[in-house]
Structure 1
Amino acid sequence: MAVAEICLFPLGTGSPSVGGYLEPVMDVIRKSGLKHRVCPMGTVVEGSVEEILELVKACHEAILKAGAERVIISLRIDDRTDKPLTIEGKMRV
């Protein structure tokens, strides 16, 4: 199990407001069935590396379909093999 932070930045929108471009992305994330947590600057998801990469691809397609002319994607993946990894576990101090 891996935990990843995904951030998509639509460019070429003609406006500083990007909510309309990100709502279809959030629909894709919600429908993925992966455990996720929306944060102010990105979304954290939990799943296999393969599931996460498939999700990023679907998010990329969704934001372009929403009309973004360009998209920058930031992806950080934490994948451990020595013990279970969860969103909650990473939140503990």
Structure 2
Amino acid sequence: MANSLVSIQIIPKTKNGEDVIPYVDRAIEIIQQSGVKHQVGPLETTMEGELGELMKVIEQMNEAMIALGSLNVISQVKILYMPSGITMDTLSEKYRP
């Protein structure tokens, strides 16, 4: 069972104020390619897995933003670390119809 839930909102600073959506799309693509369980929300994406693995995904996301031409990147991250195990479903099951 996964030991962490990590939510991330990535905010790249573009050179000339370009739309950031293509950058965000690329960041989400990196999460999808990683194979970790995730859920895309309107303001952030939540990933489920081992903390070290999820932090590597975040590192790859930040590096990709720079490779695309971003001057810098703000990553707003929330981490729930629970060594005994945690899932997205566990936290949200009581709110589903």
Q: TM-score, normalised by structure 2?
A: 0.85
| Offset at residue 92 of structure 1 (A) | 2.4
- Could you tell me how far apart the structure 1 residues matched to 2:44 and 2:80 are? 15
* Whole-angstrom distance in 1 between the partners of 2:76 and 2:68: 19
- Could you list the structure 1 runs, at least 4 aligned residues long, displaced by more than 6 angstroms after superposition: none
Name the residue aligned to 1:44.
46
Contact 1:24–1:66 (Cα < 8 Å) also in 2: no
Q: Is the 8 A contact 1:8 1:71 kept in 2?
A: yes
Task: Give, in angstroms, the shift of residue 16 of structure 1.
Answer: 6.0
What is the aligned counterpart of 2:78 among 63, 76, 79? 76
Percentage of identical aligned residues: 24
Q: Deviations over 1:30-70 (max 9, x none)?
A: 01010000001110000101001111100111111111111
Asked if the contact 2:9–2:76 (Cα under 8 Å) also holds between the matched residues in 1, the reply is yes
Structure 2 equivalent of residue 92 of structure 1 = 93
Match of 1:27 in 2: 29
Structure 1 stretches lacking a partner, 5+ long: none
TM-score, scaled to structure 1: 0.89
Q: Give the RMSD, CA atoms, in angstroms.
A: 1.4
- Count residues in correspondence: 92
Instruction: Give unpaired runs (5+ residues) of structure 2.
Output: none
